Structure 1
Amino acid sequence: MPRASLSLEGQPVRDGNDLVTRISEMPVGSEAALELDRAGKRMTLKVPIEERDKVFKEDLAALGGRREMVDSEDKGAESSARFGIGIRPLTEERRKQLGFTEPGGVEVTVVEEDSFAEDIGMRVGDIIVSINRQPVASFEDVKRIQSGLKRGDAVAFKVMRPVPGQARGQRQWTGVYLSGVLPK
């Protein structure tokens, strides 16, 4: 199956992360020119940039936390969303260990095999700072956001990742967007 080439505002899009990152940096209410080339047919679409909660009405709050594992199989939750991660809060001591100075965030401690989180590229050691543009600072934030999602909903995480090759006490961090649709 041939891949479609894609550009945003005349600049090539490298991958899904690149597209999500660039769109999330555009002002709400603006319009983006999305150019596609599918099987030799070139088309340009004008796409309005809206808040995620308007586009995906089921998406709600944020992430956070104290418990290790976020996901649990709720008894009657046939439609509940599962990320497949374990998290822990960032204490001041842990922040110093990691060299992480930004506010908020929870640390990913487990990424379950064959989970949604693994599919979108989440890694142990990532620090989740937002989900669907909602800030994350605790386990309760994560549960609140997760409870507003159901299977088939779109989810975008902003995570901070250490830049490779840095000394432990002098780490630099870079923002990465991970997104996908929760499995049905």
Structure 2
Amino acid sequence: MNPEDIILCNQPRKLKVSDVRKLLLQKDDTAREYLADLILHRLRGRFITPLENVFAGFESGFLMMAAPCLMIETFQCFKNGEKDTRGKKKGEKAFVSFFQAYSAEFPGIDGLEFYHKIRCGILHQAQTHGHFRILLERGAIFDEQKKTINASAFLKKLKTIVESYVKDLRSKDLNDDLWVKAINKIGYICDACEDPVITTS
């Protein structure tokens, strides 16, 4: 076991792995609020809030799209109670499921195409494939004809989805299926921090 008690969250309060383990056993209203804050920090606090506070003139559409590409898979793992998206095309499936569930928010986006031409392009080669273009603060979220994505609008919409998900968690009992799956993912996060081979948090 890793002797270091890794910090999983600093905002709005500091939570170490040992604290989170206790909250997972506690299962009361306080635990629900703290765990909801942890999830919000990991999704919005780590990826969206920093990009919202980039100095004017230094904004990057590609960086704004890289964050959602990282987040969508993790977000789906929280929703499905999964450890990760490694193997058996689980990454592809996560994007297909996400864009099916939020088709009203992201009209016209095909999850499989997005995965291969946007997500894989940006994360592996820092570019898009299939002639897709990333725009900053202009155009529709997705324009199928022009093959453009408005990174600013995309990030704002994803922020709304994340906040809505956490709001739903706060309104439900910890025994609700939504929480059971989220707690599974939190448990996997703690396991990864305590594994001497894996040092991710």
Bigger RCO (CA 8 Å, 6+ sep) = 2
- If each structure's helix is expressed as a fraction of its own residues, which one has the higher value? 2
Q: Quick check: TM above 0.5?
A: no
TM class by smaller structure:
under 0.3
TM-score, normalised relative to structure 1 = 0.25
TM-score, length-scaled by structure 2: 0.24
